[in-house]
């Protein structure tokens, strides 16, 4: 049973999600530690798929481990590393293990990672992968061959309202919704006007599509500069960077910025929750959740 | 017949390569994508831009190149293309059929081979278009 689906479709609760840290070392003990840290605050947490084009313990394996430890996964599948057979195998594997939340993403390019010499696959693109998940939900593989029992995936996707062509992003969100996406995590961004326009446009046409904007907790202006310079698709306006850089207490200024972003996003139409990227800043995360009116274990 | 096919193939490639950098995917969608070929996207995305488009509208993978989907959107908005083509801009295009690579999309258009999709895909399109 997907708690995420129930929360979004049957309640008005605000849904907080996060990203499960990648697993390279520490084994199951590390999985357990991460679960203990995240479970009190989040309804469901992303099990990533070779995030930022770096190899890690696989999406399916981490999703299963999270589930075993009592944290609901949103299993991501990206199109960069797997062809349509492998993508469907991930889906069927998730189904076998009772994993219902899956998120389909196009994925960063291989050039973003530490093995840029690898072959990029992109046999499917994001919207096609979403549609394939819908096909599996109807009880067959892409080929028409039967899959029994059929999955009951709660299908999620990601969109970037902040990247050009801005006007088209709303239509693209609707395309993903038509393909079967019911929840849309939005990428990190620092242009509130673009977010407002996007949410208003989506909510006006497909109000049932749950929007989950992302907010990242940082401790200084350095990561803001990094994102602006090095992460394609993220631009941080100079006045935002300056506001943090020129403050006598950078950590506090960065925190206030994040809190404002959260409050701004939560007030927008169509927004049903937030995705928090915390870079393991535990105290800041607790403070933020507290300031947003949350207490631990509200979803259990 | 094979001779004619080869001739068509040569003519199609000869025309499309210089103008659109055609890779002969054999299932041309140029008309619905603002006359911009999605196969020149480094990720070969056929359903719109990825999330990595840079602030200046350039490509995540090749910063020196304008994102082909930014180009396509601009052209769709500004070029005097037939309305039906523009209406198809946001269609969900099926996964590329790798068996058609290197064949003539003109022939595949006439024979409707380029509209064949896997059974599961076809069934879903039928169902989603019927309501
Ligand atoms: S930025 Fe545009 S051209 Fe480059 S990979 Fe993404 S969609 Fe393709």
Which has more pLDDT, B13 or B56? B56
Cβ–Cβ pairs < 8 A, chains A and B: 128
Res. B1 pLDDT band, cuts 50 70 90: low
CA A52 to CA A114: how far, in whole Å?
Answer: 9
Could you say which residues from 2 to 41 on chain B have a Cβ atom under 8 Å away from some Cβ of chain A?
Answer: none
State both tokens at A143: 């080929």
Whether B50 sits inside 8 A of A126 (CB atoms) is yes
- Centroid of ligand 1 to alpha carbon of A250 (angstroms): 35
For residue A45, the SS3 value is strand
Within an 8 Å CB–CB cutoff, is residue B109 touching chain A? no
Whether B52 sits inside 8 A of A163 (CB atoms) is yes
| Nearest CB to A109; choose among B43, B48, B49 | B43
Q: Which ligand 1 atom is nearest residue B68's CA?
A: 3
Cβ burial A260-292 (10 Å sphere, 16+ → b, else e): ebbeebeebebbbbbbbbbeebeebbeebbeeb
DSSP classification of residue A113: S
CA A145 to CA A141: how far, in whole Å?
Answer: 5
State the pLDDT at residue A199.
Answer: 98
pLDDT tens-digit profile of A101-148?
999 999 999 999 999 999 999 999 999 999 999 999 999 999 999 999
Within an 8 Å CB–CB cutoff, is residue A187 touching chain B? yes
State the pLDDT at residue B129.
Answer: 78
State both tokens at B71: 């180009």
* Residue range A19-23: mean pLDDT, rounded: 96
SS (H, E, C) chain A: CCHHHHHHHHCCCCEEEEECCCCCCCHHHHHHHHHHHHCCCCCEEEECCCHHHCCCCCHHHHHHHHHHCCCCEEEEEECCCCCHHHHHHHHHHHHHCCCCEEEEECCCCHHHCCCCCCCCCCCCCHHHHHHHHHHHHCCECCCCCECCCCCCCEEEEEECCCCCCHHHHHHHHHHHHHHCCCEEEECCCCCHHHHHHHHHHHHHHCCCCEEECEEECCCCCHHHHHHHHHCCCCCCCHHHHHHHHCCCCHHHHHHHHHHHHHHHHHCCCCECEEEEECCCCHHHHHHHHHHCCCCCCCCC
Dihedral sign (CA A287, A289, A293, A297): negative
State both tokens at B28: 């041309």
Whether B69 sits inside 8 A of A142 (CB atoms) is no
> Which chain B residues touch A165 with a CB distance below 8 Å?
49, 53, 57, 69-70, 73-74
Shortest distance between the Cα of A202 and any Cα of chain B, in A, equals 15
DSSP classification of residue B89: T
Going along chain A from its start, the domains and CATH numbers come out as: 3-291 (3.20.20.220)
Q: Token pair 């080869």 is at which residue?
A: B6
**What residues are paired with A158 via a beta bridge?**
A185
> Which chain A residues touch B51 with a CB distance below 8 Å?
106, 158-160, 163, 187, 233
- Centroid of ligand 1 to alpha carbon of B68 (angstroms): 6
State the pLDDT at residue B38.
Answer: 78
CA A170 to CA B49: how far, in whole Å?
Answer: 12
State both tokens at A111: 């050039």
Residue minimizing CA distance to atom 8 of ligand 1: B41
* Residue range A240-252: mean pLDDT, rounded: 97
Cα radius of gyration (chain B): 16
Cα radius of gyration (chain A): 19
State the pLDDT at residue A16.
Answer: 98
State the pLDDT at residue B28.
Answer: 78
> Is residue B74 predicted with pLDDT exceeding 90?
no
> Is residue B99 predicted with pLDDT exceeding 90?
no
Residue A44: which of A75, A13, A77 has the closest Cα?
A75
pLDDT tens-digit profile of A56-78?
999 999 999 999 999 999 999 99
* Residue range A43-50: mean pLDDT, rounded: 98
Shortest distance between the Cα of B89 and any Cα of chain A, in A, equals 10
Among A42-51, B14-23, B41-50, B70-79, the minimum mean pLDDT is found in: B14-23
pLDDT tens-digit profile of B12-52?
777 777 667 777 777 777 777 777 787 789 999 999 999 99
State both tokens at A257: 């910025």
* Residue range B97-124: mean pLDDT, rounded: 84
State the pLDDT at residue A46.
Answer: 98
> Which chain B residues touch A189 with a CB distance below 8 Å?
none
Dihedral sign (CA A53, A18, A99, B123): negative
Within an 8 Å CB–CB cutoff, is residue A232 touching chain B? yes
Which has more pLDDT, A65 or A281? A65
- Spans of all domains in chain B: 2-130
State the pLDDT at residue B22.
Answer: 77
> Which chain B residues touch A142 with a CB distance below 8 Å?
95, 118, 120-121
Whether B47 sits inside 8 A of A128 (CB atoms) is yes
State the pLDDT at residue B7.
Answer: 74
Most confident of the following: A205-209, B9-13, B106-110: A205-209
Res. B82 pLDDT band, cuts 50 70 90: confident
C-alpha of A108 from chain center = 13
State the pLDDT at residue B110.
Answer: 76
- Centroid of ligand 1 to alpha carbon of B67 (angstroms): 5
Q: Is the CB of B61 within 6 Å of ligand 1?
A: yes
Whether B51 sits inside 8 A of A171 (CB atoms) is no
State the pLDDT at residue B40.
Answer: 85
% of residues, chain A, pLDDT over 70:
100
C-alpha of A184 from chain center = 8
State the pLDDT at residue A189.
Answer: 97
Shortest distance between the Cα of B1 and any Cα of chain A, in A, equals 31
> Which chain A residues touch B70 with a CB distance below 8 Å?
164-165
pLDDT tens-digit profile of A156-206?
999 999 999 999 999 999 999 999 999 999 999 999 999 999 999 999 999
Res. A242 pLDDT band, cuts 50 70 90: very high
């Amino acid at each position: 049973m997907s708690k995420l689906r129930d929360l979004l479709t049957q309640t008005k609760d605000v849904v907080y999600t996060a990203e499960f840290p990648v697993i390279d070392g520490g084994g199951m003990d590390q999985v357990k530690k991460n679960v203990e840290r995240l479970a009190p605050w989040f309804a469901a947490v992303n099990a990533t798929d070779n995030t930022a084009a770096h190899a890690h313990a696989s999406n399916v394996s981490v999703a299963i481990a999270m589930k075993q430890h009592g944290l609901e996964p949103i299993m991501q599948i990206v199109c960069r590393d797997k062809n349509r057979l492998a993508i469907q195998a991930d889906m069927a594997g998730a189904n076998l293990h009772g994993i219902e939340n899956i998120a389909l993403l196009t994925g960063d390019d291989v050039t973003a990672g530490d093995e840029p010499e690898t072959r990029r696959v992109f046999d499917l693109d994001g919207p096609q992968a979403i549609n394939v998940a819908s096909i599996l939900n109807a009880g067959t593989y892409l080929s028409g061959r039967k899959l029994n029992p059929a999955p009951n995936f709660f299908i999620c996707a990601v969109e970037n309202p902040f990247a050009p062509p801005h006007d088209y992003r709303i239509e693209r969100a609707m395309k993903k919704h038509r393909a079967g996406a019911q929840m849309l995590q939005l990428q990190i961004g620092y242009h509130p006007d673009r977010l407002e326009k996007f949410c208003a446009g989506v909510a006006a046409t497909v109000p049932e599509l749950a929007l989950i904007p992302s907010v990242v907790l940082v401790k200084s202006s350095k990561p803001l500069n990094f994102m602006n310079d090095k992460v394609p698709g993220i631009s941080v306006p100079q006045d935002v960077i300056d506001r943090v850089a020129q403050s006598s207490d950078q950590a506090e200024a960065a925190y206030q910025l994040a809190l404002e972003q959260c409050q701004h996003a939560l007030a927008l139409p169509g927004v049903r929750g937030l995705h928090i990227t915390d870079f393991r800043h535990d105290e800041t995360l607790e403070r933020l959740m507290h300031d947003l009116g949350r207490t631990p274990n509200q979803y259990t | 017949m094979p001779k004619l096919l080869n001739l068509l193939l040569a003519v199609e490639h000869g025309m499309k390569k210089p103008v659109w950098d055609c890779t002969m995917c054999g299932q041309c969608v140029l008309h619905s994508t603002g006359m911009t070929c999605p196969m020149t996207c480094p990720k070969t995305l056929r359903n719109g831009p990825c999330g990595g488009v840079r602030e200046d509208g350039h490509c995540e993978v090749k910063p020196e190149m304008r994102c082909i989907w930014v180009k396509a959107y601009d052209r769709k908005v500004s070029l005097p293309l037939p309305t039906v083509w523009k209406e198809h801009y946001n269609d969900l295009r099926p996964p590329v059929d790798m068996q058609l690579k290197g064949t003539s999309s003109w022939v595949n258009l006439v024979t409707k081979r380029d509209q064949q999709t896997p059974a599961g895909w076809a069934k879903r399109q039928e169902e989603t278009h019927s309501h």
